[in-house]
Amino acid sequence: MESLERLYDALERDELNAFITLRPREEVLREARSLLERGLRPKPVTIKDNISTKGIRTTAGSLMLKDYVPPFDATVIKRLKERGYVIVGKTNMDEFGMGSTGENSAFGPTKNPLDPAKVPGGSSSGAGAAARRYSLPGLGSDTGGSVRAPAAWCSAFGLKPTYGAVSRYGLIPYADSLEQISPIGPTVKSVEELLDVIAGYDEMDGTTVKRELRVKGCSEKGVEGLKLFVPSNALEYVDNDVKAEFNAALRKLSSEGAEVEEGQLPELEAALPAYYTIAMAEASSNLSRYDGIRYGLRDEDLPPITENFYEYVSEVRGKYFGWEVKRRIVAGATVLSAGYSEELYLKALKARRKISERIYEITEERLIVTPTMPVKPPSLASARSPKELFAMDVLTVFANLAGVPAGSAPVGEGVGLQVVGPRWGECEVLRVMGTFERKVDAPWL
């Protein structure tokens, strides 16, 4: 209990804006005492603010949901509670998961714990910041790198599981066919333990697979005999300082018994446009429900709904959706429109299939390794075009398109090594990540 008290002393002084909602100290301590009475060790955990938590505000980083309190727990939350995890707060995020830097939250940007003048990475920005600054494991979600980016830029660990390995029931969706609830933490072991708890079939989510995934102890098995594939064309996108840290990490893996080989992955060039075409189309569909009537914030200051329904909906969305969300809704609606769906959306689906087949082929016997992010964390509020922002995801999105596991381990300050494995190959991914394990002084780990 003393360690929880000390943790709260730090959390209540948080200057990183890592949390949208921090639970009251006494409420959390009361839960912790109850767990001790039941013979369970309380383990603090953070939850990204797009995962439903009964009785705790869940905003998805948007004004549209600023007062929403779910009446139910997501499946992953139920599983955490059964194993003694105590939620300390809901972490900040890019609105509805749309962003790579952590600057698109309606509740203000998250700051990087390594340098508060830098971005932490998104969209699971608060989870990454809390993992590094407060040594707190947490759950984020990863649609195109949203857990791996903050893991890299905050020098933490993150792992996107195989699509279908973890229930998405209770997740406020961005792009259903791409995203997975994913663990992030200060150590590989903390990530491994979270995944071991949340993975598994769920009858409430038809995308989950009836297959057991157990990863406990995988990170301690070493890399002897593992084959690693480095797509050399991927390094063309990478800054020299990131490349230097990445090459040093490869030498370390090689010295510990991994076999490293280089090759080409030309399909990488098509991954980014295919990803954003599909993601925006799915986002446009998912967010169409927010009309301020059935879903989202009802605005009593606007003219009555009965006077002009379409004007009311337009006003609500214009007022309570952020700029990035509105841009992606419009782009997604265009992609799905009669004149463009065959030219854009169907082509993206075909490209996705080809990319996935190539990834499956490579990962039959090898793991793919790249830098997680092509650059070190940029400065907050530095001018960047949408094209530049989208390009941040160039090395991460192919894993989401293929639905394969992908992890990020810190190999330098603000630099991550990405490890991509075969479907259900989380154990092999964790073996590589374990090479870069950190020692952290936190009693709950």
Q: Which of 48, 81, 90, 160 is catalytic?
A: 48
| 3-state SS class at 43 | strand
Q: Which of 100, 105, 146, 182 is catalytic?
A: 146
Pairing of strands 85-91, 19-22: antiparallel
Rounded Cα distance between 147 and 125, Å, is 8
β-sheet bridge partners, residue 184: 138, 158
| Residue carrying structure tokens 């005999």 | 225
Residue 424 near residue 114, CB atoms below 8 Å: no
- Determine contact, residues 3/36, Cβ cutoff 8 Å: no
* Catalytic annotation, pick one of 52, 62, 105, 123: 123
Q: How far apart are CA 267 and CA 231, in angstroms?
A: 10
| Pairing mode of beta strands 157-160, 138-142 | unpaired
Q: CB of 395 within 8 A of CB of 374?
A: yes
Active site residue 123: yes
Residue by residue, DSSP assigns 223-243 as -TT-EEEEEGGGGGGS-HHHH
Contact 131, 137 (CB under 8 A): yes
Does residue 376 come out as left (phi exceeding 0), alpha (psi in the -120 to 50 range) or beta?
Answer: beta
Contact 120/151 with Cβ under 8 angstroms?
Answer: no
Catalytic residue IDs: 48, 123, 146
